[in-house]
Amino acid sequence: MKIHLTGPKNQLLKETFKITGSKSESNRSLLLSALYPGIQILNLSNSDDAQVMEAGLKRTEGTVDIHHAGTAMRFLTGYFSAMEGSDVILTGSKRMTERPVQILVDALKELGADISYVKEEGYPPLHIKGKKLSKHKVSLPANVSSQYISSLLLIAPSLENGLELELTGKITSVPYIKMTLALLTEIGVESSFQGNSITVKPKTEVKPTTLVVESDWSSASYFYSIVALSDEGSQITLSAYKKNSLQGDSVLHKLYGEFGVETEFGENQITLKKVSEPTKATVSFDLANAPDIAQTIAVTCFGLRMGCYLTGLHTLKIKETDRLDALHTELTKLGADISVSDKTLTLKPAKNINSEIAIDTYNDHRMAMAFAPLALKTSLIINEAMVVTKSYPDFYEDLKALQFGIKEL
Ligand SMILES: O=C(O)C1=C[C@@H](OP(=O)(O)O)[C@@H](O)[C@H](O)C1
Ligand SMILES: C=C(OP(=O)(O)O)C(=O)O
């Protein structure tokens, strides 16, 4: 589906939204609740990624297709490897068969897993025959994706002797590893993370526990962008959020200060307020700990006619699409002066913003959602607009509530 998007006529915005649960917290919680009966989950994400995870966890044999969900692919690889008696082919979308898993597969094999590649070595689909993992120590590179580490940590307490991980290389997406360990703590599992070593103690039973998923901060990023691009005085309230979030993307409340957006933390909610126009011509951010908000920030800067220099983007090339290439192509179509390397993005302040440009989304929910706020500055077209269901199925409903014009083409 292709849509034509226009911004609200009155750009002094005031609205309140309840955002769906974090897909990262949801997919971890779902796996833990499959391992340990007695875990309840509240505010579960209604995203495609959480749905394929939930469905995958109910399976023990046959083909399990997790579509575009990186977390489901990586977390279920660990889960099925350690589930004695399971025999599955774990696969996903075409893009998923291009997203590497060798580091995780090697680590699991080192622990005793039986995994083989169905097609290309290093990539899904995987044939996994679940068995008891006999070892409890493994070393793996941590500079490609934190999801490999989280996958191992999530099954760690269910292993007879727990798990000791030795991480090599510069650890990337660290908050996601800490999120996994924090959820283990919530269910009573002991762990430690010091330097490059992570240890998780075994746990056979978990007391009845309710895991309350905080709403998704990556989804909140699109409202930060909308507020930044709207008139001074605009305010949008989002729930359910908290100040001490497990999600690294909560750094948004600091970063968007540079764009004149202040965040007020209330009881279970945040209010984003446009208090001033930005003062700097250009900003520099290292996003190694928050890679999923890179697209939002690049488009916000473009819309504000600011420059930016974004670093720490080395993981973007292996996500839903090569996000550096995709940003380069789409922002160039809009008139941007942008250059990218394999880990950085440099945008010069925009001289003009082209109208009626059709944005390609490359099966990447974040391409659609990051560019949509730009409708506050110029009308645009979004191709394959429904990609948003990967993490935020209600996205366009919420834009409509803000009086964005959305016309199906
Ligand atoms: O563990 C997680 O829930 C995630 C980790 C990150 O991936 P990488 O560690 O591959 O950067 C992030 O980009 C992804 O959206 C979700
Ligand atoms: C990278 C993402 O997801 P995943 O790796 O889980 O597919 C994302 O949602 O931005």
Please report the pLDDT score of residue 50 as a whole number: 98
Please report the pLDDT score of residue 405 as a whole number: 98
pLDDT 10s digits, 155-170:
999 999 999 999 999 9
Please report the pLDDT score of residue 155 as a whole number: 98
Q: What is the DSSP string of 354-387?
A: -SSEEEP-TT-HHHHHHHGGGGGTS-EEETTGGG
Please report the pLDDT score of residue 42 as a whole number: 98
Instruction: Using CB atoms within 10 Å of the CB of residue 270, give its burial: 0 to 12 exposed, 13 to 18 middle, 19+ buried.
Output: buried
Please report the pLDDT score of residue 102 as a whole number: 98
Give me the residue spans of the domains in the chain: 3-21+215-408, 23-212
In ligand 1, the atom with minimum distance to the C-alpha of 28 is 3
Q: Ligand 2, residues 172, 320, 387: which to mutate, most atoms within 8 A of Cβ?
A: 320
Give the C-alpha separation, 256 to 360, whole Å. 26
Report the catalytic residues.
292
Q: Which CATH architecture has domain 23-212?
A: Alpha-beta prism (3.65)
- Residue 234: C-alpha distances to residues 228, 273, 276, 277 (Å): 9, 6, 10, 12
Extract the residue ranges of the chain whose pLDDT is less than 70.
none
Please report the pLDDT score of residue 315 as a whole number: 98
Please report the pLDDT score of residue 268 as a whole number: 97
* Residue spans of beta strands (DSSP E) within 225-378: 235-239, 261-266, 269-274, 282-286, 307-311, 338-340, 345-347, 357-359
Confirm whether 3-21+215-408 and 23-212 share one CATH topology: yes
Please report the pLDDT score of residue 225 as a whole number: 99
Tokens of 293: 């908000």
Please report the pLDDT score of residue 209 as a whole number: 98
Closest CA relative to residue 403, chosen from 368, 362, 375, 371: 375
Which of helix, strand or coil describes residue 141? strand
Closest CA relative to residue 363, chosen from 120, 67, 73: 67
Please report the pLDDT score of residue 188 as a whole number: 98
Please report the pLDDT score of residue 49 as a whole number: 98
Ligand nearest to the CA of 28: 1
Q: Which residue has the tokens 């002797």?
A: 161
Task: Name which residue sits closest to atom 10 of ligand 2, judged by CA.
Answer: 292
388 touches ligand 2 (CB under 6 Å): no
How far, in Å, from the CA of 275 to the mean position of ligand 2?
32
How far, in Å, from the CA of 69 to the mean position of ligand 2?
7
Q: Ligand 1, residues 167, 173, 180: which to mutate, most atoms within 8 A of Cβ?
A: 173
Secondary structure string (H, E, C) spanning 177-237: HHHHHHHHHHCCCCEEEECCEEEECCCCCCCCEEEECCECHHHHHHHHHHHHHCCCCCEEE
Please report the pLDDT score of residue 89 as a whole number: 98
**3-21+215-408 fold:** UDP-n-acetylglucosamine1-carboxyvinyl-transferase; Chain (3.65.10)
Tokens of 152: 């191992």
Known binding residues for phosphoenolpyruvate are: 23, 70, 99, 147, 323, 366, 390
Task: Name which residue sits closest to atom 8 of ligand 2, judged by CA.
Answer: 292
Please report the pLDDT score of residue 319 as a whole number: 98
48 touches ligand 2 (CB under 6 Å): no
CB atoms inside a 10 Å sphere around CB 170:
12
In ligand 2, the atom with minimum distance to the C-alpha of 68 is 7
